[in-house]
Structure 1
């Protein structure tokens, strides 16, 4: 599919806005997913986590660590779309077309960029806040206090804990999601009238399918990431490979898919919301117009 390369500022604004909206709408599913991935003898299902949180913390308990994700997701989506457009421009052939393998590489590169510049710090803080919130007496009073405390206790590298699994997860996430989305979108457009803009419902559906595929292919990396960013990670795991080994030998292979249901709910909604919002904002501010 040929395209007019989007201006970086357009991609940044549209991506950041879409990311912030998506994070706030879907955060309760992220909260439940993260809680279900922590270690320990007691394994709670999604419904049990929701019930216990509502009983002890109220509805606001489902939003523990929310601002960390909203801010991080906004930055992440902005970096992701800017990077993806940039890499696609570099990898496009002389006719301006990008093949599926090249789209995969562009998505992988975008995922690596967002992991380094946005995702790891926000995910580490969010995970620690959620882990801390389930204690009888939480030590963090909110996003700012929690961030300052983490940096004071562990240094700046404390918010970059789990960087390797985050880079692997985000690289795989973006590679799979963008490739699936681009391939499906190209297929749908090839069967539409030339120049016809896809309805938002179709864009949402394509994005949702991309989210579904992404979940099942990258779930083990997400579980390792969560464990490496928990409060007691330094006491249990030497590195990501040791973490994966302990999960496999002590809890079994299926534990790598813990939290699949809430993550599936989030990424299916996320894929639809992000791509629909992004495309809508791009069209409003005079951005890219895909062509045949």
Structure 2
């Protein structure tokens, strides 16, 4: 029993959590890949008419390529084929599998550590969830960040191919940009993920058990809790997510991504935010929010539903246990 008479949540053993997290990440990524590509294209696009610093030639000749979610879907399929909606899927699958395994493993470890404290030192369950979620997000984000950067760059390739293969992209980034190039925008990522994952897991844990008591079909209470948690957390940190994407495509290849319409940003996270606010206003920090929420909701629903189901199966079969 934990403080306040609460039962400790059965988190499974480390091997079960790693496997369930990896399975959840793999399935979730494949399902939401098209939404992710559309979101990244919209986040990277700058409407030239809203930028007073844009040169006259660009203002007169460059209308937005992507005009809303459904139009962006149609444009990508028309110009790049249906496979264009899965651009960057290989590094993204590696990212989601690794991220999922690290995230849930770290979350389990921190949760059990906090729950092992003496009753007099125990924190409220919502605080435990926030700390565990924030810590899990920070560890998983920093460890897998190079894969996140590759995912963004491949998804940002429209009809102009910047990298022909995954191996070529790794060589070019390493040779031309060095270690720093692999972590462009990581400050925004960490600034985003700590409150995001803290808010996500806190909301998820608060909603999960009451929703389970409703006995929704197919165990969908976990999915609904994931949707609620994701929408709330995603909206709160979306500007940092947009800044991260803009910074990830900076560097010597910047003008070849997204039709060459990505401005050069200096001054890190704060400088980029100031520049976006100056040239595009507050609205500029929320480009792609609609599709971001549309993507985040099913992604979190699939992830949490798959994770809980996979973990349950693995525990039933005593996966990774020694007699």
In the superposition, the TM-score normalised over structure 2's length comes to 0.80
Superimposed CA distance per residue, residues 92-133 of structure 1 (whole angstroms, 9 cap, x where no aligned partner): 254688610221111111111011111x212211112222x2
Alpha-carbon distance in 2 for matches of 1:77, 1:224: 23
Aligned to 1:9: 15
Aligned to 1:176: 199
- Of structures 1 and 2, the larger Rg is shown by 2
CA contact (8 A) 1:3 1:97 kept: no
Q: Which runs of 5+ in 1 are unaligned?
A: 288-292
Alpha-carbon distance in 2 for matches of 1:197, 1:269: 17
Task: Compute the displacement of 1:5 (Å).
Answer: 4.2
Q: 1:117 aligns with which of 130, 135, 143?
A: 143
Task: Compute the displacement of 1:259 (Å).
Answer: 0.8
Superimposed CA distance per residue, residues 149-185 of structure 1 (whole angstroms, 9 cap, x where no aligned partner): 2222211332211111111222222111111110111
RMSD in angstroms over aligned alpha carbons? 2.3
In the superposition, the TM-score normalised over structure 1's length comes to 0.88
Aligned to 2:76: 53
Alpha-carbon distance in 1 for matches of 2:202, 2:130: 5
Task: Compute the displacement of 1:70 (Å).
Answer: 1.1
Given the alignment of the two structures, is residue 73 of structure 1 paired with residue 96 of structure 2, yes or no? Answer: yes
- Of stretches 69-78 and 137-146 in structure 1, the one that deviates more from structure 2 is 137-146
Aligned to 1:154: 177
Superimposed CA distance per residue, residues 1-26 of structure 1 (whole angstroms, 9 cap, x where no aligned partner): 52234322211110011001101110
Q: How does 1:115-154 map to 2 (within 5 A)?
A: 115-118=141-144, 120-131=145-156, 133-134=157-158, 136-154=159-177
CA contact (8 A) 1:114 1:170 kept: no
Aligned to 1:229: 248
Query: Are residues 5 and 98 of structure 1, via their aligned partners in 2, closer, same or farther at CA, if it must alter by over 3 Å?
Result: farther
- Of stretches 278-287 and 38-47 in structure 1, the one that deviates more from structure 2 is 38-47
The count of aligned residue pairs is 280
